């Protein structure tokens, strides 16, 4: 039963319809067969009377055809005689010729024997007529006519007796037929009631879980996502829909929770973005504070570069153009995020400017993975770190000072390392720098005044990671390296 109830709805509905229709068909078929059998039996009741009537008709046909032939002696009348005689013989052959004590059977046997004698006498009558023996055919004719009367009398008597007997049988069978009709009506009524009960129970079993499911759906539509769904015992379409609806409720709850969390994260991101913009504007203001009318200075440098080019001072032109590009980046860049390529170019320009100032005393080496240069990072990050390395690491080393810039990928991070071979940083100062508590008034950032706390804050806001920056140093005189790790997924946005 459970296997059937777990079947699909279409299969169950079709199966119930087929079952009820087949049941009705079988009952109707049995009732029809029973009624046909009783009808056949009732028809057989008077079959004996019909046979006797047909025998009497055949006997009369033989007597008439013989009389016509004797009077006309034509070939047509002779043929008709032979045909009627054959019919009479066939009919008489169906009579019972058993020797028995039953009166009706004895009468049938006598009629059969008398019919044979009659046909024999009639045949002799016809032959005598054909042989023009008038005396013989008259005698045979009288004898045949006498037998004809005896046979008719027997037929009437037998027919009457048989009719009385058959009437009693017919009455009994008619009462049985009416009883069978009543029983058939009762059976059909019970079958119909049973089918209605089966169909009603089946439809009710289908509709109850659907009604419960629709009530639950209405509650969900009203905003109640904590509704308890009805349990469905069978895995048909209703069970599948119920389970899917249950999963959908769970998914909606999870989606609302994720949406809430996403909105909170978005607010945090917006706050961080605002903070980054605030830090960036602070850095830009400090740049501008260190510059006297930067637009005037930028335009003046461009004019100087054009003048140097016209006078053929290529090195002077290149230097002035580099300084102009350096200030152009600071003045025009108002974005919070730039490509790593732009930051590296700014460092290149800055080192070139310093080398002109200090007659090429600063060594500079780059190890850059070109595939990573189009990734993004916060603006104005690398140049303050390089400037910090120059001012506090290699300024007093002269031509032995060296700055190394590396851009590479490590696991799921884009790594940018800025190292120097200067005097190094103590562990205590590293901790103070990373915590934002380090201040050095001596020679601090002669030009732009952007501190490491600003750089570190913006990197942390950009990546959402506290360990985005790492400072490595083995102590005094061992150099230092500032290592930035930006998640690849964030840098690729």
The model's confidence at residue 484, banded by pLDDT at 50, 70 and 90, is: very high
Residues in the chain: 493
Residue 219 covered by a domain: no
Residue 125 covered by a domain: yes
The whole-number average pLDDT for the span 126-141 is 81
Q: What is the pTM of this model?
A: 0.42
For residue 203, give the H/E element and its range. Answer: helix 134-221
Residue 45 covered by a domain: yes
Residue 162 covered by a domain: yes
pLDDT (tens digit per residue) in 208-243:
777 777 777 777 777 776 666 666 666 666 667 667
The model's confidence at residue 442, banded by pLDDT at 50, 70 and 90, is: very low
Q: Kindly report the CATH number assigned to the domain that includes residue 71.
A: 1.20.120.1730
Residue 202: domain span:
2-212
Spell out the alpha helix ranges (H) of 222-339. 237-289, 294-311, 314-332
pLDDT (tens digit per residue) in 184-196:
788 888 888 887 8
Please check the confidence at residue 331 and state whether its pLDDT lies above 60: no
The whole-number average pLDDT for the span 39-44 is 65
For residue 415, give the H/E element and its range. Answer: strand 413-420
State the chain's mean pLDDT as an integer. Answer: 78
Residue 449 covered by a domain: yes
Please check the confidence at residue 336 and state whether its pLDDT lies above 70: yes
Query: Regarding predicted confidence, which is higher, 52 or 409?
Result: 409
For residue 112, give the H/E element and its range. Answer: helix 103-130
Domain match, 17 and 155 both = yes
Low-confidence winner among 15-24, 114-123, 404-413, 437-446 (lowest mean pLDDT): 437-446
The whole-number average pLDDT for the span 18-47 is 73
Domain match, 10 and 154 both = yes
The whole-number average pLDDT for the span 306-321 is 67
Pairing of strands 363-368, 337-339: unpaired
Residue 54 covered by a domain: yes
Domain match, 34 and 171 both = yes
Total count of domains within the chain = 2
For residue 470, give the H/E element and its range. Answer: strand 469-473
Residue 135 covered by a domain: yes
Q: Kindly report the CATH number assigned to the domain that includes residue 379.
A: 3.30.565.10
Q: Which of 189, 212, 235 is the last residue of a domain?
A: 212
Query: Regarding predicted confidence, which is higher, 323 or 347?
Result: 347
Residue 160 covered by a domain: yes
Please check the confidence at residue 479 and state whether its pLDDT lies above 60: yes
pLDDT of residue 447: 41
Q: Which of 163, 179, 212 is the last residue of a domain?
A: 212
Please check the confidence at residue 441 and state whether its pLDDT lies above 60: no
pLDDT of residue 444: 39
pLDDT (tens digit per residue) in 67-91:
888 887 788 888 888 888 888 888 8
Query: Regarding predicted confidence, which is higher, 224 or 58?
Result: 58
pLDDT of residue 70: 80
Please check the confidence at residue 471 and state whether its pLDDT lies above 90: yes
Query: Regarding predicted confidence, which is higher, 409 or 187?
Result: 409
Torsion angle defined by CA atoms of residues 431, 434, 435 and 441, in that order, rounded to the nearest 10 degrees? 90
Helix (H, G, I), strand (E, B) or coil at 408: strand
Q: Which of 194, 212, 230 is the last residue of a domain?
A: 212
Instruction: Let me know if 392 is exposed, middle or buried by CB neighbors in 10 A (0-12, 13-18, 19+).
Output: buried
């Amino acid at each position: 039963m459970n296997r059937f109830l777990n079947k699909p709805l279409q299969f169950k509905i079709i199966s119930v319809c087929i079952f009820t229709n087949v049941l009705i068909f079988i009952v109707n078929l049995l009732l029809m067969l029973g009624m046909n059998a009783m009808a056949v039996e009732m028809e057989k009741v008077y079959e004996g009377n019909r046979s006797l009537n047909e025998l009497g008709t055949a006997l009369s046909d033989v007597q008439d055809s013989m009389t016509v032939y004797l009077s006309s002696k034509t070939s047509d009348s002779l043929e008709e005689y032979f045909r009627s005689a054959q019919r009479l013989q066939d009919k008489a052959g169906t009579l019972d010729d058993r020797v028995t004590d039953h009166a009706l059977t004895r009468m049938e046997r006598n009629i059969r024997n008398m019919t044979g004698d009659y046909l024999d006498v009639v045949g002799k009558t016809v032959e005598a007529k054909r042989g023009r023996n008038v005396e013989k055919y008259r005698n045979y004719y009288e004898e045949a006519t006498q037998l004809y009367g005896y046979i008719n009398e027997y037929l009437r008597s037998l027919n009457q007796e048989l009719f009385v007997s058959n009437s009693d049988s017919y009455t009994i069978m008619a009462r049985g037929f009416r009883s069978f009709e009543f029983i058939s009506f009762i059976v059909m009524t019970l079958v119909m009631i049973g089918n209605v009960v089966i169909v009603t129970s089946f439809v009710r079993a289908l509709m109850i879980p659907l009604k419960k499911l629709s009530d639950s759906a209405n509650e969900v539509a009203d905003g109640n996502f904590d509704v308890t769904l009805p349990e469905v015992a069978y895995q048909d379409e209703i069970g599948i829909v119920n389970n899917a609806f249950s999963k959908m409720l769970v998914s909606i709850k999870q989606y609302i929770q994720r949406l809430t969390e996403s909105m909170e994260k978005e607010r945090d991101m917006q706050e961080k973005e605002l903070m980054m913009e605030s830090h960036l504007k602070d850095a830009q203001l400090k740049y501008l504070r260190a510059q006297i009318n930067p637009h005037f200075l930028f335009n003046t440098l461009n004019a100087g570069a054009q003048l140097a080019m016209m006078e053929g001072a290529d090195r002077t032109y290149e230097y002035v153009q580099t300084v102009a590009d350096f200030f152009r980046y600071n003045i025009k860049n108002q974005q919070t995020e730039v490509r790593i390529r732009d930051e590296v170019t700014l460092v290149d320009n800055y080192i070139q400017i310093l080398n002109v100032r200090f007659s090429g005393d600063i060594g500079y080496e780059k190890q850059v993975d070109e595939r990573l240069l189009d990734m993004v990072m916060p603006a104005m990050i690398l140049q303050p770190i390089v400037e910090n390395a120059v001012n506090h690491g290699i300024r007093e080393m002269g031509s032995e000072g060296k700055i190394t810039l590396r851009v590479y990928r490590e696991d799921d991070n884009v790594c940018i390392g800025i190292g120097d071979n200067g005097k190094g940083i103590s562990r205590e100062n590293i901790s103070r720098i990373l915590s934002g508590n380090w201040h050095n008034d001596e020679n601090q950032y002669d030009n732009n005044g952007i501190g490491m706390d600003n750089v570190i804050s913006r990197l942390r806001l950009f990546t959402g990671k506290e360990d985005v920056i790492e400072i490595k140093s083995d102590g005094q005189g061992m150099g230092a390296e500032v290592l930035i790790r930006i998640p690849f997924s964030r840098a690729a946005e």
